[in-house]
Amino acid sequence: MSGTGSRDGTSQRRWQRGDQMLWTYTNPTHPGLYDQRPVTVIADDEKHLAVWLESGTRMLHQVLADGSGIRTADGPARFGAPRAQGLKRWQGPGIVAVFQPGADYSVWYFATPSGRRDSFYINLEEPFTRFDRGILTSDHVLDIVVDAQGRYQLKDEDELEFARAAGMFSDEKAARIRSAADSAIEDIRAWTFPFDSDYPDFRPDPAWPMPELPAAATWDFES
Ligand code: MG
């Protein structure tokens, strides 16, 4: 696993605020390719792991075999067509991401015109595991967006169907993902942690250096 390191005896340690680590998505349909984001740890305790992704961070992402963006493929090919490893910079503003042990979604905080990070992106994914240099999970395609007024909306239901048709998920797994989305919506309505946290007002420490990909990371296309 070049670029992610290996699991070993240190894999269960907690990180300290200011540590740098690798927020990593594997993709069982495209083994050996990663979405990997070097990030800075904000907090790591029994309840949650919070990380900061700085705008402009160089990160690994997946592209089609010819280097074009995955979203240029339509239908099931968006998930089933051969892929390659890409490198890009995180173009958007910095985000806070919160992971909870055993949870099948992470919560990303995006800034809104108010200046607060009070728009939420709920990314459905496998509960995270730790490895020596970061965390591993895999994406479940379906997402939920919540605006600053607390209004929520499912996103990419059509893509979940494409992914199922491409063989990325079984019928049963796709049904479990939809039901995980229903549970996440219940959490939003109940405004449980981390929605009720003060992360919308988080400010990164200006002294934190920009985290880098591992020196051993490789890619086929850079954009
Ligand atoms: Mg997603």
CA neighbor of 119 nearest in space, from 92, 84, 101, 138? 92
Confidence at residue 196, expressed as pLDDT on a 0 to 100 scale? 95
Provide DSSP, 67-85: S--GGGS-TTHHHHS-EEE
- Give distance in angstroms: CA of 168 to centre of ligand 1: 14
Q: 20-199: CATH homologous superfamily? A: FomD-like (2.40.380.10)
For 131-187, how does the pLDDT look when each residue is reduced to its tens digit (9 = 90+)? 999 999 999 999 999 999 999 999 999 999 999 999 999 999 999 999 999 999 999
CB 11 within 8 A of CB 132: yes
Residues lying with their CB under 5 A of ligand 1, a single-atom ion: 123, 139, 143
- Give distance in angstroms: CA of 14 to centre of ligand 1: 25
CA neighbor of 37 nearest in space, from 67, 8, 4? 4
- Give distance in angstroms: CA of 115 to centre of ligand 1: 24
CB 102 within 8 A of CB 183: no
pTM recorded for the entire structure: 0.93
For 38-64, how does the pLDDT look when each residue is reduced to its tens digit (9 = 90+)? 999 999 999 999 999 999 999 999 999
